[in-house]
Structures are given as structure tokens and as C-alpha cells.
Structure 1
Amino acid sequence: MLIREAKPEDLEYILDFQLKMASETENIELDRATVKSGVQAVLEDQRKGQYYVAEIGGQVVGSLLTTFEWSDWRNGTVLWIQSVYVLPGHRRKGVYSKLYEYVQKKVLDNSALKGIRLYADKSNEKAQNVYRRLGMNPDHYTTFEWLK
């Protein structure tokens, strides 16, 4: 398995993953053109975030996105993992674990990076168990949001 930073050529894979994830996890049909523009914006400007992909046999089988949170308490950046997707036939085979380990190594190797955060649906116990196995723990915050 090869884990690498996504390239512009990965756009269609990541776009497809995001549409499938929204459908599978939240039963939402996203607007393809909007999501394509959003993914493309990140691929063209790493200040917005960074996609990582997992390849097996030359096929992209999973991806995730990291975005940035400035922490004044830590005087550094915390990476947020989001937009995680692994093709159904490759789940429970360590794809996400390898993606996570790749991001974690980037944090460990860069003193300006202070940690990793992510959010999970409260009902998604499978995902929460994976995160715990990787050494993550639920924090003491509750996430609130307002979205237009």
C-alpha cells in the first residue's frame, strides 16, 4: 500500500469518494459541481488543506483531508482530519490506519504541528473504535455548528 499526497490527477477519485461518503453516512446527495470545485480548490491551494490518498496496485482506494486550526495555547497548528473515505472492498484492511499513521508521522516530524483532531458521528461506533485503537481519545469538548 502506498500513501501519498494527492495530486491534481486524483480529483475524480476524491470527488467520487466525497459523493459516496455523503450518501452512505448521512443519506445526502451533494451537488457534484460544487464538490468538484471544493476538492479542486484544495488541490490547487495547499493553504486550504491537504488530501492524502492510499493506493493499492496503482488504484486509489481511500483518501482523507487535513485542514488547519491555529492553537494559540500551543503556538502551533493542529491538523483536523476530515472527509475520510475507503472503498467498501478495502475496509477493515488497514487503509485508514495507514493514512492516519502517515499524517501522524508528519506531525511528529514537524515541530510547528501540535496534534491531530477529528470528529465522528456519535452513532458511528465502528469509527470511534478504530480511532481509539490508533491511540486517539475522545476529548472533553462538544462540537457545535452553524452552517449556512
Structure 2
Amino acid sequence: MTDFSLLAALWFSAFTSATLLPGTSEAAFAAFLWQCPEAAFAAWLAAGSGNTLGSLTSYWLGRQLPERGQSKLSPRAVSLLQRYGAWLLLLARQPVAGDALPLAAGWLRLNAWECAAALAVGKFVRYALIWQGMGWLLQAA
């Protein structure tokens, strides 16, 4: 596979991993860095953008669900949403449980631009941390 093919596969893995579909983008990112450390920045951009767009797809799907009154939500959830709003999506970088947050944000009609910004920050930071960790591993090897 060429570097572009590997980057495209990494992007796709990151995209699907951010939806409700199962995925292992962290492992794919780490494996890419192990095989092609010279292309780390490109891999970081591919993984971060793919994962962000995957979460934005979940946000969009949530917007397609019928609106419901907040009376169905717990008072604690309403309080957290009122306090943190779209910035709760920084936690969408967490595997499994975080995948539902963008869907819920869309369902609650949170501001799309704020949601996109929070998602991007959280996703790119996660991959930067993995990149840093892989840098330490590669130096030790």
C-alpha cells in the first residue's frame, strides 16, 4: 500500500470509529505511526479529521430525530447541559460511551458550530497524546 492508501484507510477507520459502528482507530493510528513515523503529521490530520467528521455525522443523525421536550431528561442531565453545553463534547473522545454524546447533542439541537469546535479539539488532542506516546515508544525501541 502507498502512504496515501494507508492514510485513506486510517481516515476511514477514524471516521467509522466515531460513529456508533465499532472501530479501533487508536490502534490503527498507533500502527501507522509505527510503520511510517515520518508521516506522523499527515496521520494526525487524517485521524483527527476523520474522527471529527464521524462524530459530526452522529450529530447530524441526532438532529434528524424528532424533537422532544426536556421533561424526558433527568434534572442532572439538564443541569449539566445548561452548565457546559456543547463543550461536553470534549468527552466524545472517550471510547464507547463518548460515541453517543454527539448524537444526543444533535437531538438536543445544541449549536452546531460549538459542537464541531468541541469535537475537533477533543479528537485532535486525543490523537496528539497517542502520537506523543508512540514517540516515546519509538525512541525506546
| Same fold flag (TM > 0.5) | no
**Greater fraction of residues in helix:** 2
Larger CA Rg, structure 1 vs 2 = 2
Q: TM-score, normalised by structure 1?
A: 0.27
**Greater fraction of residues in strand:** 1
Q: TM-score, normalised by structure 2?
A: 0.28
